[in-house]
Amino acid sequence: MFPPQFSVVIDSDKCEKCKRCTINCSFEALSYDDREDRIVSDDRKCVACLRCASKCPKGAITIKKNEITFSPHPTWTPEIRLDIMKQAETGGMIIAGCGNDLDYPCLFDRIVIDACQVTNPSIDPLREPIEVSTFLGKKPKQLKIGDDFSLETEIAPNIMIDTPIVIGHISYGAISLNAHKALAMAARKAGTLMGSGEGGLHPDLYEFGDHIIVQVASGRFGVHSTYLEVGAAIEIKIGQGAKPGIGGHLPGEKVTEDIAETRMIPVHTDALSPAPHHDIYSIEDLSQLIYALKEETDYMKPVFVKIAAVHNSAAIASGIARAGADAITIDGFRGGTGAAPKIVRNHLGIPIEIAIASVDKRLRDEGIRNEVSLIASGSIRSAADVVKAIALGADAVAIVTPALIAMGCTVCQQCYRGVCAWGICTTRQDLARRLNPEVASRKVYNLISAWTMELKEVLGALGMNAIESLRYNRERLRGVGIDQKTLEILGIKAAGE
Amino acid sequence: MQIDAKGLSYKELNRKLKELVSKEDALEIDVLNVNGHRYIGTGLENSKGIIRLHGVPGNDLAAFMNGGSIFVYGNAGDGVGNTMNAGLVVIHGDARDVVGYSMRGGKIFIKGNVGYRAGIHMKAYKNRFPSIVVGGRAEDFLGEYMAGGIIVVLNSNNEKNPVGKFTATGIHGGTIFVRGKISEEHLGIGAQIGTPNEEEINLLNNLISEYFSYFQVNENLDSLEFTKIHPKSHRPFAKLYVLE
Amino acid sequence: MSKVIDGCGISGIMSTKKKLIPGCEIVTSIDSMNFRYNGLGGGFAGYGIYPDYKDYYAFHLNFEDREAKTKAENFLYEQLRVIDDEPIPVRKSELIDDTKSISWRYFVSPPKDIENADDYIVKVVMHINENIPGAYVFSSGKNMGVFKAVGYPKAVADYFRIEDYSAYIWIAHGRYPTNTPGWWGGAHPFNILDWSVVHNGELSSYGTNKNFLEMWGYKCTLLTDTEVLAYLFDLLVRRHKIPVELACNVITPMFWSEINSDNSPRGKALKALRMTYGGAIVNGPFSIIVATNRFMFGLTDRIKLRPLIAARKDDFFYIASEECAIRSVCENPDIVWAPRGGEQVIAYVKEVT
């Protein structure tokens, strides 16, 4: 009924019939036909994960987009038609993975960065010091210093990270234990943090605790005292960019024995997190939970709150800051997910560029910007996005998809099926084994390291040798092809001004 | 030959100097009341010309200098010997920042201290070889991006830190010799510590003798033990880049 | 109008024993570096110039026209007790175009029931600058004043008759902006209460500093990055009572590698300061001279991208962009040196008891 999206083309001249491709394909698209002595592909099952092509020793495999042409129509795109067909067939909600795939304008790509010339020298990042260390946590409004220069103000616990790039939350269950471990190892090596996600923390990761933000989501999976004590910080997840207003969703296929134990639910049930925390129906309830967690950990750990970027993010953020949170993570509408209803993933929420700019401005207008750190996430794709996010008002950014791609993910967007051929988004042992945590963590570390160097390169070009001077420095950004109203909300001028 | 620089702009002073120096084959000029006059000795060519400056010259003394000698009896400003090609500069005082930027030849001797980024991007090629000798100490970024030539820091006052931080950061050629002990903490990227070899010790001794001849300093700097700072490789940043 | 960019030269002369230094000395000093300027701005701040009114705030105002003056005066008379007011004496000259600049001074006091006089004065200043078009407060300190205009420093000095004043602290500035709106407000010194700042360089962190200061009620209206420096010191030292030496560590913090290896109480304070006041960090090349009624200090950025020379002779203290500015007024200083990047050089007035 549905024309296959991709077709697997095997060059018979090159093919040695080693059958490595059939073993590697976890989507069961490839098999070896005895009688015809060749590899055959069931194109309907191919998702273009590219595992077979990368493993073929002869480079004999090409994955092509299927050339069946729908009669073109701008309104009834092939995608719209296929979605309708699927729903007609099943009567169900379409579930999708990864992030928003609609063609909304990407504001990051319309923002350009200033550079210094003549009147202000650029600084050479290779040879001169450029500092990017960042403190996440609550800072006091002002400090009291005694006559002998000693500090008289008590400061809330802060975490110092060596780079403003943090690995965001993705749960054990959404990804394999090997992948989770790889992220933790990379975070430790890079001197930054990693988010545990809402699936709890496997004991194997406790040793990385100083570099982990443990998440308390609405399902409270895996939340117990040890869990809370082990992390460097605790994050209350109110929402995520990919699915504002909806809780996490781990399909039953992925709930193996280990997951069941960590999350404390029966094997192979769907792990669904409720939409709201059922003890937070209003802002004062959030404050209550924040302080409950602080009491539990003797006020030694910062408590973060993560929200999805929605229309009134600025007001919500202000409320969260006053409720006692030490940092706020704002997840834009392009954020990724293992599984979400497609309609929510694609149509709910607002872009992170707008959200960060308006939250930062609101907090500054209210004089409370120092009370919280702001972390921006939701499809931060490159170091350029990092620079722009910080100039728009973020203290740091959180990335997940780039870290997964670094580990080998090819963004085939089939995460929710639990058969990731790369061993990342799966809990099947035979598949998870394909990912070597040491190798994978080195790649994630390389990525963070390379982006940090690029960040320094740009800071140098801006004539800054400390990242504090980029934070909410809208003056160094300009917009190209952005309408006046959006420019105002972003707080930046048009290029040429 | 005497000129009084009082009341002269730097343009007027330099024009006078150039006229005088180009006319005669060998010439000695004393300039009095030098105070902030810039660009003195810029592009000076006459290898036999000697100019003595009494007072405090301004920025870019001996910039692009191509021969001749300048003696300063006072402190100098920023940019002494900027892109200097040949010649001699002797300063009876301190020099400030960016001494010998892109220096390609010639010699600079300073009795006192130098500021930041001394010897930045010095270069050498075959027989073109620049030298800087500092009697006191140097601040941060000494020999940044150095590609050739020699810098000597004598630390005559035996200060705790003869050089600052980020010394020789980005060095890929040339050598720095510092009297006294240096630790890794002083060094920038791509620099390493070593001991001078015999050839280098000879070169050092010659330069130090020359330094002493100008400043008539009789005391023997006790222990002429020098730490050598030199490049780890001639491509310190090769690993940082990946092609698109 | 957009932000104007500067190159420039600065100079400061101080008598720690409060001996009054005639204005012509600072003019000689700043003029000796004439080659650093392009004639598009010059200015002076003198301390101790109004001994007869020393307990009142001396407001130096600049008006574009009579209308702005009337509006501003209405506001001043509403908000403050005006003890005296008069035009600032000037000597008309071809070199200074004052067709759009009326210079006036007012000696004022806040109403009797005001608890914090300084805070009140700052609010009045911010209001005038932001809300009364064509009216700007050039200085608002006690027993001091800022004189500035578009022109070479010598021409500005002649116009404002600087030779008629004597002060125990003088700071001065000559400007080299790369585009000119031709207005006097962009010249240095920048001032709030008795804080005056002259600056050579450009602040790459201006956007951040401006946004940070707005949280505390300071409005940056004079379109020049230097403005933030005056407000930052007023905030840190006067309002937050951070000792001025540490306030300089906030503006130009030490590198983390140095802060983290200092376990003394001072080291802990430095770490807390840098964590808390990230928005006050000033980045970009700069050398500044800052003066108040009690002290004068110089500071450069921590990788020393701009020049600064200091000197002492007897109880006089000198700071300038180049040594010639000092030697023009002091032939044989006891000591001359170049301060290190990021390290404050300061001298305090020795109060005669």
| pLDDT surpasses 70 at B222 | no
Give the model's confidence band at A249: pLDDT under 50 very low, under 70 low, under 90 confident, else very high.
Answer: confident
* Mean pLDDT in residue range C114-128: 96
pLDDT tens digits, A443-452: 999 999 999 9
Number of domains in chain B: 1
Q: Hey, what CATH class is A6-92 in? A: alpha beta
Give the model's confidence band at A126: pLDDT under 50 very low, under 70 low, under 90 confident, else very high.
Answer: confident
The end-to-end CA distance of chain C, in Å, is 49
pLDDT given for residue C176 in this prediction:
79
* Mean pLDDT in residue range A188-209: 95
pLDDT tens digits, C30-46: 999 998 888 889 999 99
Query: Cβ of A471 under 8 Å from any chain C Cβ?
Result: yes
Distance from CA of A393 to the nearest CA of C (A): 9
Give the model's confidence band at A333: pLDDT under 50 very low, under 70 low, under 90 confident, else very high.
Answer: confident
Under the phi-then-psi rule, with left for phi > 0, alpha for psi from -120 to 50, and beta for the rest, what region is B209?
Answer: alpha
Give the model's confidence band at A118: pLDDT under 50 very low, under 70 low, under 90 confident, else very high.
Answer: confident
Chain C partners within 8 Å of A370 (Cβ): 215, 276, 279
Distance from CA of C161 to the nearest CA of A (A): 32
Q: For residue B141, give the CATH number of its domain.
A: 2.160.20.60
Instruction: Classify strands C102-109 and C81-87 as parallel, antiparallel or unpaired.
Output: antiparallel
User: Which residues, at least 6 apart from A75, have a Cβ–Cβ distance to it below 8 Å?
Assistant: none
Contact B10 C322 (CB under 8 A): no
Range with the largest mean pLDDT of A112-126, A208-222, C284-298: C284-298
- Are C122 and C233 a contacting pair, CB within 8 Å? no
Contact A126 B189 (CB under 8 A): yes
Give the model's confidence band at C156: pLDDT under 50 very low, under 70 low, under 90 confident, else very high.
Answer: very high
The answer to whether residue B56 is domain-embedded is no
pLDDT given for residue A137 in this prediction:
96
Q: Which of C33, C287, C327 to mutate to test the interface with B (most CBs of B within 10 A)?
A: C327
| pLDDT surpasses 80 at C336 | yes
| pLDDT surpasses 80 at A67 | no
* Residue C8 annotated to the active site: yes
CA–CA distance, C16 with C351 (Å, rounded to integer): 9
* 3-class SS of residue A459: helix
Fold of A134-494: TIM Barrel (3.20.20)
User: Which residues, at least 6 apart from C52, have a Cβ–Cβ distance to it below 8 Å?
Assistant: none
| pLDDT surpasses 80 at C50 | yes
Please state, for a pLDDT cut of 70, what percent of chain A lies above it.
99
Which residue pairs from B28-33 have beta carbons closer than 8 angstroms and sit at least 24 positions apart in sequence? B28/B1, B28/B52, B29/B1, B29/B2, B29/B3, B30/B1, B30/B2, B30/B3, B30/B54, B31/B2, B31/B3, B31/B4, B31/B5, B31/B55, B32/B2, B32/B3, B32/B4, B32/B5, B32/B6, B33/B4, B33/B5, B33/B6
The answer to whether residue B191 is domain-embedded is yes
pLDDT given for residue C1 in this prediction:
33
pLDDT given for residue B210 in this prediction:
94
Give the model's confidence band at A272: pLDDT under 50 very low, under 70 low, under 90 confident, else very high.
Answer: confident
| pLDDT surpasses 90 at A325 | yes
* Mean pLDDT in residue range A64-81: 86
Distance from CA of A128 to the nearest CA of B (A): 7
| pLDDT surpasses 90 at A303 | yes
pLDDT tens digits, A346-374: 898 899 999 999 999 999 999 999 999 99
pLDDT tens digits, B201-219: 899 989 999 999 999 775 6
| pLDDT surpasses 90 at C352 | no
pLDDT given for residue C353 in this prediction:
56
Q: Which of C262, C270, C275 to mutate to test the interface with A (most CBs of A within 10 A)?
A: C275
pLDDT given for residue A472 in this prediction:
96
- What is the ipTM, given to two decimal places? 0.91
- Contact residues, C window 187-206, toward A, CB-based 8 Å cutoff: 201-202, 204-206
pLDDT given for residue C351 in this prediction:
81
Please state, for a pLDDT cut of 90, what percent of chain A lies above it.
63
pLDDT given for residue B42 in this prediction:
85
* Mean pLDDT in residue range A276-298: 81
Domains and CATH numbers, chain C: 6-348 (3.60.20.10)
- Average per-residue pLDDT for chain B: 90
Structural domain including B102 reads: 97-240
pLDDT given for residue A222 in this prediction:
80
Contact B36 C338 (CB under 8 A): no
pLDDT tens digits, A138-150: 999 899 998 888 8
Phi, psi dihedral angles at B120 (to 5 degrees): -70, 125
- Reported as half-sphere exposure (CB side, CA atoms, 13 A), residue C140 has a value of 24
pLDDT given for residue C146 in this prediction:
98
Query: Cβ of C342 under 8 Å from any chain A Cβ?
Result: no
| Residue whose tokens read 């009326």 | C102
pLDDT tens digits, B56-80: 999 999 988 988 999 999 999 999 9
Query: Cβ of A118 under 8 Å from any chain C Cβ?
Result: yes
pLDDT given for residue C178 in this prediction:
60
CA–CA distance, C205 with A470 (Å, rounded to integer): 7
Count how many pairs of residues, chain B against chain C, have C-beta atoms within 8 Å.
Answer: 49
Query: Cβ of B115 under 8 Å from any chain C Cβ?
Result: yes
pLDDT tens digits, C100-116: 999 999 999 999 999 99
Cite the beta strand spans of A392-451 per DSSP E.
396-399
pLDDT tens digits, B112-169: 999 999 999 999 888 889 999 999 999 999 999 899 999 999 999 989 999 999 999 9
CA–CA distance, B64 with B87 (Å, rounded to integer): 10
| pLDDT surpasses 70 at B44 | yes
* Mean pLDDT in residue range A255-265: 81
Find, in chain C, the residue whose alpha carbon is nearest to that of A368. Answer: C215
**DSSP per-residue codes, C247-278:** HHHHHSPPPHHHHHT--SHHHHHHHHHHHHTG
| pLDDT surpasses 80 at C139 | yes
* Mean pLDDT in residue range C283-292: 94
The answer to whether residue B222 is domain-embedded is yes
pLDDT tens digits, C190-205: 999 999 999 998 889 9
| pLDDT surpasses 50 at A418 | yes
Query: Cβ of B58 under 8 Å from any chain C Cβ?
Result: yes
Query: Cβ of C223 under 8 Å from any chain A Cβ?
Result: no
User: Which residues, at least 6 apart from B216, have a Cβ–Cβ distance to it below 8 Å?
Assistant: none
- Contact residues, A window 343-402, toward C, CB-based 8 Å cutoff: 364-365, 367, 369-370
Give the model's confidence band at A93: pLDDT under 50 very low, under 70 low, under 90 confident, else very high.
Answer: confident
Contact B145 A127 (CB under 8 A): yes
Distance from CA of B35 to the nearest CA of C (A): 5
* Mean pLDDT in residue range C338-344: 95
- Are A466 and A164 a contacting pair, CB within 8 Å? no
* Mean pLDDT in residue range A278-291: 80
| pLDDT surpasses 80 at A284 | no
Query: Cβ of C258 under 8 Å from any chain A Cβ?
Result: no
Quick one: how far is CA B129 from the chain centroid?
A: 12
| pLDDT surpasses 90 at A225 | no
Contact C283 A370 (CB under 8 A): no
pLDDT given for residue C5 in this prediction:
44
pLDDT given for residue A244 in this prediction:
78
pLDDT given for residue B128 in this prediction:
87
Query: Cβ of C260 under 8 Å from any chain B Cβ?
Result: no
pLDDT tens digits, A26-39: 999 999 999 999 99
* Mean pLDDT in residue range A332-346: 84
Higher-confidence residue: C29 or A415?
C29
pLDDT given for residue C4 in this prediction:
44
Domain positions in chain A: 6-92, 134-494
When mean pLDDT is compared across B17-26, C228-237, C242-251, the lowest value belongs to B17-26
